[in-house]
Structure 1
Amino acid sequence: MDRSTSALITAVRAVDRWVRPIERALAMMAGLGVGILAFLLLVDMIRRRFFNETFAWLYNFTGLYVFAAAIFLSLAYAHRLNAHIALDVITTHLSRRWNRVFGFVGELVGIVLFTILAYAGLRATSEAFSAGYTGERTLPWPLWTHYVLLPIGASLAVIRSMLKLLAGDALDDPESDDPDAAASVGVN
């Protein structure tokens, strides 16, 4: 490995160590949101069954915030762990070289698509903030708080795709949140 490649890998690993805790924190927030949703749905079901009452705001909250958070805030974390949909039926029959080609093209496509999503989400967030849009009367929160989940998640996914594209197999074990631990067991 020449010096420029070594310097690039070192820089990518440094950015990776910075991005991992953010990915983990956002994924934990998304998971916590889903857990809170499950609890609220249980309470709402009990209220309906025994008291003929409901949380009028719950379904708007679920649709606007919890599902969006679960998808967008965990996007980069899932991408790092390779926990996304893959065409294993095809790639298991390809050579290592062709798998790398497909991986490279996939990361490029991901960068383009995530960039478009981040930009569109940023524009929607900006417009909702500037215009003061709010949700329906059952959940009259500012809508920018919902829209901002998309550019946050998509931007982090762009960074993750760029890291994977630049470093390839040189990044530490995707399962490990501690790069030093991964290095100590010979993953690198």
Structure 2
Amino acid sequence: MKAIEENAPVNAASAVLARVEAVLIGASGLAMGAIMLIVVVDVTLRYIFAAPLTWSYSLIGLYLSGAVFFLALSDTLHNHGHIALDVFVPLLPRPVRHLAQGLGYGASTLFVGAMTMLGYMQARDAFLFDNRVAEAVAWPTWIAYALLTVGMAALCLRCGFRTVFHLASIFSSRDLVELPAPPDTKPQTGEHGE
């Protein structure tokens, strides 16, 4: 319950993004469940009935793995789940911290935005030319590019949100963007730090 409160949206824009991210992370979870189900069915059919699914690895590799990865990116960023080198960040003065993070997220927004546009152009072209994979089932490729585009677009919006509100926080008396929880520096006891 504590993690939910820490990552609660700080304003309406973040709340709208969080709702979109909740839908995307749900779709990512469904894709993960579908992968597990398809693998179990394929292994069962392969080793018990000697009749494997000819399409399982193509479906998993082309669509489902991409859905698991790309649709989870923005929600992971919102919940501070990506790897971050933030050892010195808490030591910086508040305005400098927000400036540095605003500039970093600004650069990320541009980079992720470019990836989003490239994904969109690939999806559009693959759809218009009816590109398909050359396998047992000729899956259309535009769906894979569309999954990339949707996931990267949500990530671009989250990075853009962080850019604007980190920079605005420089001039505000309070933080206008969700910040990660401070590091836990208490000594851990027990064999595994319990």
What range describes the TM-score normalised by the shorter chain of this pair? 0.7 to 0.9
Aligned to 2:79: 81
TM-score by length of 2: 0.75
2:145 matches 1:142: no
Letter in 2 for 1:170: L
Q: 1:110 aligns with which of 108, 125, 131?
A: 108
More helix by share: 1
Which 5+ residue runs of structure 1 have no aligned equivalent? 1-11, 176-188
Letter in 2 for 1:38: M
Contact 1:125/1:144 (<8 A) preserved? yes
Contact 2:71/2:150 (<8 A) preserved? yes
CA distance in structure 1 between the aligned counterparts of 2:91 and 2:43, rounded to whole angstroms: 48
Q: Percent identity?
A: 26
Q: 1:170 aligns with which of 136, 160, 176?
A: 176
CA distance in structure 2 between the aligned counterparts of 1:89 and 1:171, rounded to whole angstroms: 19
**What is the RMSD of the two structures over their aligned residues, measured on CA atoms?**
2.4
Aligned to 2:192: none
CA distance in structure 1 between the aligned counterparts of 2:143 and 2:41, rounded to whole angstroms: 25
Contact 1:80/1:174 (<8 A) preserved? no
TM-score by length of 1: 0.77
Aligned to 2:191: none
CA distance in structure 1 between the aligned counterparts of 2:158 and 2:108, rounded to whole angstroms: 10
2:34 matches 1:33: no
Aligned to 1:153: 151
Q: Paired residues, what number?
A: 164
Letter in 2 for 1:127: D
Which 5+ residue runs of structure 2 have no aligned equivalent? 1-9, 167-174, 182-194
Contact 2:102/2:164 (<8 A) preserved? no
